[in-house]
Amino acid sequence: MGAVSKALFIFFSVLLIIVVLFNREVTMDFKEEITSTLPRDMLWQELETVIKNSSQSDIWPDDMVKVRSEGLKENATINVTYKILFREQTYSYVVSNLHEKYFTYSTTEDHPIKGYATFRIHSKEGITTLRWYGIYKVKIFSAGSFYLRYYITMFFKELEKNIRELEEGQSTI
């Protein structure tokens, strides 16, 4: 094998390895839990408001992501507009497994990240707990995988801050 052939072989071997690595999907999961003194029904009502039109909600981080739909019902399509850097991108989710105070939503075909998440609210001894957990499949080195990690962290910090502010407002009434 000549020097040029050997160099081309090495180049294409490295290129193939990179392509395989970049195309590999990984599973990313998240589990978030926020406790609150807000009544369970009030927190659920906030969620229903978010699903219909997030800009009307007191708790939703609307500056990060906007949500619109016909409302929270089985098989409803939820349109979510993410603010990514200097642009906005809208993707859809579908509601399933809707029960009293919890539901699951899944990504649709147009979404670059595949998966689902469940939102659940329960109350015990005056403490309401919001649990939000999900599993997504993303390309290992895609922009989506890096953004998802960042987004989840920032989103839940902002959501919790907004819930605390609503609690403070309720305690002064």
Is pLDDT at 45 greater than 80 in this prediction?
yes
Q: How many whole angstroms separate alpha carbon 34 and alpha carbon 162?
A: 11
User: Each residue of 128-140: pLDDT tens digit?
Assistant: 999 999 998 877 6
Q: How many whole angstroms separate alpha carbon 90 and alpha carbon 75?
A: 18
Quote the domain boundaries for residue 141. 25-171
Q: Is residue 20 part of a domain?
A: no
Query: Which tokens is 41 given?
Result: 């029904």
The pTM (predicted TM-score) of the whole model is 0.80
Q: Is residue 13 part of a domain?
A: no
Q: How many whole angstroms separate alpha carbon 152 and alpha carbon 149?
A: 5
Q: Give me Rg for the CA atoms of the chain.
A: 21
Q: Is residue 19 part of a domain?
A: no
Q: Is residue 16 part of a domain?
A: no
User: Each residue of 102-117: pLDDT tens digit?
Assistant: 999 999 998 888 899 9
Stronger pLDDT, 27 or 123, i.e. the higher one: 123
Q: Is residue 52 part of a domain?
A: yes
Helices (H) and strands (E) in the chain, counts: 3, 7
Query: Which tokens is 167 given?
Result: 């609690």
- pLDDT of 38: 95
Q: What is the mean pLDDT of residues 20-35?
A: 81
Strand order across the 77-84 sheet? 25-36, 127-139, 114-124, 102-107, 87-99, 77-84, 65-69
Number of compact structural domains in the chain: 1
To the nearest whole number, what is the mean pLDDT of the chain? 86
- pLDDT of 13: 67
At 138, which CATH number?
3.30.530.20
User: Each residue of 47-81: pLDDT tens digit?
Assistant: 999 999 999 999 999 988 999 999 999 999 999 99
Q: Is residue 6 part of a domain?
A: no
